[in-house]
Amino acid sequence: MTRIDPDAIRRGDRLALSRALTAIESNDPAGQAALAALFPETGKAHLVGVTGSPGTGKSTLVNQLARYFRQNQSPKPPKVGIIAVDPSSPFTGGALLGDRIRMQDLIGDPEIFIRSMASRGALGGLSHSTAAFATLMDGAGYDLIFIETVGAGQAEVDIAQLAHTVIVVEAPGLGDDIQAIKAGILEIADILAVNKADLPGSENAARALRMMLEMAHGKGSLPAAGKHLRSGSPIGQEVTQSLDQGWDPPVQLVTATEGDGIPELAEAIQSHQAYLQSTGLWQAKEAFRLQKDLEALVRDTLMEHWREQVDEDRFAEVLTDLVHHKLSPAEALQLLL
């Protein structure tokens, strides 16, 4: 087991942070110990998720946003953390992590920390350790943390649970207006960015998205930012219902390679943060996420306990009956618990 000094992370020792991230990702107990030491000081960072299909320009956009926040926010620019998730191969477990290629501008600024991570079998666009990564960076004093998802597309909604603000990145030419009214990824957007606005069709893409949003956010509907705080969470429900004023997700055209539209997008991120804080949704989101994290932890731990206790032969027997359709899954469960 490695030893990680939480004070070093607090002091801004980047190697200590980097090693703590590895420990978390490798299930090394030293990682959880460091996280536990820092946890009381966390909960301050603004987590901004960036999701969208492959090739829409998420990495380039994050690069530009990070640079913008570092250069244009006076007097004290935020420390920026970036977590970039790319897929792991389901066959070999290996991964090629290439998001840094688009973020070369940011190297050399000691107040920006970029970490690539492989999804390691998790679905939903993140890795199991992404939330813990964000918490560690928060504990290390990063004020603004961008989380770039795998980019697998429509089912990538885990980011809505983790991030305070979700930017969904679209690009022209990826589909017709029916794509825009399908359920899933667009519903989680707090801000929509239509990237590659210099290409033909970008205005059409933006118009289709605006139309979709108008349909979804007619008068009396729940605000978008609170919609995914489902009834599972008593706190979330209360807040969403008590809100009289909602958030209308803006649609922003950007050309990330040129930096066009970046100031407006940065402003939208800040207005969304102000909106969350003034309505109490910030705390509600935090509470909802921590509840879900705890539930997942309980699920994993119970599963592990059960695995340790279950009789191997009995398990094999029941499994055989299940495979031969002599038992239904529910009946098998009764026999094993």
Instruction: Give the largest CA-CA distance in the chain.
Output: 70
Q: Quick one: 4 or 253, whose CB is closer to another protein?
A: 4
Q: Quick one: 70 or 292, whose CB is closer to another protein?
A: 70
Q: Quick one: 26 or 277, whose CB is closer to another protein?
A: 26
How many CB atoms lie under 10 A from the CB of residue 181?
Answer: 13
Distance separating alpha carbons of residues 3 and 16, to the nearest angstrom: 10
Distance separating alpha carbons of residues 204 and 200, to the nearest angstrom: 9
Q: Quick one: 116 or 291, whose CB is closer to another protein?
A: 116
Instruction: List interacting residues with another protein (CB under 8 A).
Output: 1, 14-15, 18-19, 21-22, 25-28, 88-89, 92-98, 100-101, 104, 107-108, 113-116, 118, 120
Name the minimum Å distance from CB 128 to another protein.
11
Name the minimum Å distance from CB 10 to another protein.
18
Q: Quick one: 74 or 92, whose CB is closer to another protein?
A: 92
Q: Give the H or E element holding residue 220.
A: none
The amino acid that residue 104 corresponds to is: Q
Name the minimum Å distance from CB 260 to another protein.
23
- What is the separation of C-alpha 113 from the centre of its chain, rounded to a whole number of angstroms? 17
How many CB atoms lie under 10 A from the CB of residue 334?
Answer: 10
Name the minimum Å distance from CB 224 to another protein.
34
Residue of 201, 208, 194 whose CA lies nearest to 260? 194
Classified as helix, coil or strand, 78 is coil
* Phi, psi (degrees; rounded to nearest 5) at 307: -60, -40
Q: Quick one: 98 or 175, whose CB is closer to another protein?
A: 98
Name the minimum Å distance from CB 197 to another protein.
24
Q: Are residues 120 and 87 in contact, defined by beta-carbon separation less than 8 angstroms?
A: no
Name the minimum Å distance from CB 68 to another protein.
20
Q: Quick one: 14 or 314, whose CB is closer to another protein?
A: 14
246: its two tokens: 């909602």
Distance separating alpha carbons of residues 7 and 302, to the nearest angstrom: 33
Residues 6 or more apart whose Cβ sits within 8 Å of residue 275: 225, 247, 281
Classified as helix, coil or strand, 130 is helix
Q: How many CA atoms lie within 13 A of 72 on its CB side?
A: 12
Q: Quick one: 68 or 113, whose CB is closer to another protein?
A: 113
Residue of 332, 335, 333, 312 whose CA lies nearest to 322? 332
Name the minimum Å distance from CB 110 to another protein.
9
Name the minimum Å distance from CB 57 to another protein.
16
